[in-house]
Structure 1
Amino acid sequence: MTLLISIIILAFIFDYINGFHDAANSIATIVATKVLTPFQAVLWAAFFNFMAYFISLYVVGEFKIGNTIAKTVIEDYITLEVIFAGLIAAISWNLVTWKFGIPSSSSHTLIGGFMGAALTHAYITHDTLQGVINVAKVFPIVLFIFVAPLLGMIMAYLITVIIMHICKKTTPHKADVWFRRMQLVSSALFSLGHGANDAQKVMGIIGAAVIFYHVQAGDAEWIDSPDRFAHFVEEWGWVPLTSFIVIGLGTMSGGWKIVKTMGSKITKVTSLEGVSAETAGAITLYVAEHLGIPVSTTHTITGSIVGVGITKRTSAVRWGVTVKLLWAWILTIPISAIVAGIVYLVVTAFQ
């Protein structure tokens, strides 16, 4: 029970870090265009991060992404030590990337850490690496590392072109006034998507730990349950609510280095472009949530910002910065997996 409690605490710490690490995703453009002050922006984003709980519970009716995360590793290879090691790795990578202002994916570091620890456990205890990862769950996640930013980029480009065509006879001042107001709406929509997507990932990890604990304890109610994750949500209903509260609190703490990278280093963003980027990013997140695929809000909004940048000209995008971000995205899962494997070996060595 002590290790389970430690995992739950660590999961909420990760949730909080995820909030301030990814706060930039939903507030970078609204701060860059000075629609809101940084303090106002984080309060705005945090509120809608939390409101996403009610959307997921009463509108969507289920927590699909949490379910996907919980099942990325086959149950036979899940232990509390595996989950503990995965969380330590995910927290470490998030703090490192936050320190250097790199907008990496909290989603993928969590998944990478979980899988890396599970593979190490399987190799040490079962002398195998086969059949450890649930490929049906993991493949769409890996695919969307590339699909999400590309989809965000294409949609942002199209939305920007359409808006510019519609508003071509509007005076620049009048258009700017309207789009600054609309940024409040688009930022709120993206924050709802961020909360719904990322808070559920923590639920999934806690769910995997709780399910393992009850099954190992021989609890027949859990063993015989046809859908153990749904049973977890029903029995541990405070976990989903707390996950959304904590990510909102993390967002209120902000991540100003990453805000600077997202809001100005990729391309200069106007209020019109901010509306386009956030709307495109929100649509991408909602599509992914509907499909139950955990995607990176970081990847999504970065692709969307690039999309609005290339409507001006391709040179308006600072491709050198973008390439560095791409390398961070590619390295996130393998580095998190390696760190988690090492942590697992250290943890089990002292048992």
Structure 2
Amino acid sequence: MDTVLLLTILIVVCALAFDFINGFHDTANAIATSVSTRALKPRVAILLAATMNFAGALTFTGVAKTISKDIVDPFTLENGSLVILAALLSAIIWNLVTWYFGIPSSSSHALIGSIAGAAISAAGFGILNYTGFIKIMEALLISPVIAIVGGFIVMNILRAVLKNRNLFKANKRIRYLQILTAAIQSFTHGTNDAQKAMGIITMALIAADLQTGDDIQMWVRIAAATSMGIGTSIGGYKIIKTVGGKIMKIRPIHGAAADLNSAAIIFGATLLHLPVSTTHVISSSIMGVGSAQRVKGVKWGTAKKIVITWVITMPISALVAAVLYQLLALFS
């Protein structure tokens, strides 16, 4: 079999594996609040998330096109197949390590950092599309800030609306609302995160001269959506435990506020064709909601560990991808 074709097949397999891991790694964030407040049983929540993720992944392609061309230009990238393979392996390794330790890190940061690191290792810093790369970085950095502020505002609005209501009865009714917010959250996750694997596969097809444009083929969309759906169905209980209870003690009203806020931000980014970290957005929304309730109620020690992981994810992923590219190039 032709080497380039073999590498392309291997990339497709790894990209779908990345989406599968992303399913049980990141999607846990989308249902963490509804599970922790017992609005949904874990199995039901995971089934709901898998279904809505699949639907969301098939609906949009704008983020996939951004990933496929705005970090590096796949039409000019030499040894493109090796670059993409190294990037995927690096992102998968980081996701598995953070999942094992129950740390809600960003799959988006891992993947984007890995693509940049492998490309720089192959062709130097000049290979980066700085206009597109800076745009992506801005979205990744600004979205958590917007999520914290938004979570604070949404929580205060809900508190004002429910000011004269019986809190116990209100929380009981809000649990039903959480079923809807968990579904919306999972759908928006699919519209953004599943597209990253689609973009990677499209990059590989272009690099192998198997595709001449940046359109996302239907089989790529279906394969990525299915892979993420299956991954979601397995669930990520370690991440659910961290997001759902170790940042703050979450009541139904907190969960609903955080879900509505983060879903709006993620879907807004999807409409703008910008990849954002669902982990960052959801965790930041919970911090914002907790701050509105009581600043000391947020477990800032856990929040600090999450933030540190956010900061180190991209440079470590880039470094690992750069080393992997050199190893792959050596053996190839």
TM-score, normalised on structure 1?
Answer: 0.90
Offset at residue 55 of structure 1 (A): 3.3
Q: Which residue of 1 aligns with 2:161?
A: 166
Runs of 4+ residues deviating >6 angstroms = none
Matches within 5 A, 1:1-351: 1-56=5-60, 63-71=61-69, 72-75=71-74, 76-77=76-77, 79-123=80-124, 129-130=125-126, 132-214=127-209, 222-223=211-212, 228-230=213-215, 233=216, 236-351=217-332
Unaligned runs of 5+ in 1: 57-62, 124-128, 216-221
SS in 2 for 1:229: coil
Q: Hey, what's the Cα distance between the residues in 1 that align with 2:86 and 2:57? A: 27
Distance 2:274 2:214 in 1: 16
2:15–2:201: 8 Å Cα contact kept in structure 1? yes
Which residue does 1:59 correspond to in 2?
none
Does the Cα contact within 8 Å between 2:58 and 2:221 map onto a contact in 1? no
How far has the Cα of 1:144 moved from its partner?
A: 2.6
Per-residue CA distance 1:150-171 (angstroms, 9 max, x = gap): 1111111111111111111221
User: Percent identity of the aligned residues?
Assistant: 40
Partner Cα separation in structure 2 for residue 247 and residue 210 of structure 1: 20
The answer to whether the 8 A contact 2:77-2:207 is kept is: no
CA distance in 2, matches of 1:134, 1:272: 43
Q: In the superposition, relative to structure 1, how do residues 202 and 296 fare at CA in structure 2: closer, same or farther (>3 Å)?
A: same
Please identify, of 69-78 and 321-330, the stretch whose mean Cα deviation from structure 2 is larger. Answer: 69-78
TM-score, length basis structure 2: 0.95
Give 1:248 shift: 1.1
AA partner of residue 94 (structure 1): N
Q: Matches of 2:301 and 2:62 in 1, distance apart?
A: 36
Give CA-to-partner distance per residue, 1:44-76, whole Å, 9 cap, x none. Answer: 1111101113432xxxxxx11000101111232
Query: Alpha-carbon deviations, 1:59-106, whole Å to 9, x = none?
Result: xxxx11000101111232251000000000000000000011111111
Coordinate RMSD, CA, aligned:
1.2
Q: Please list every run of 5 or more consecutive structure 2 residues that lacks an aligned counterpart in the other structure.
A: none
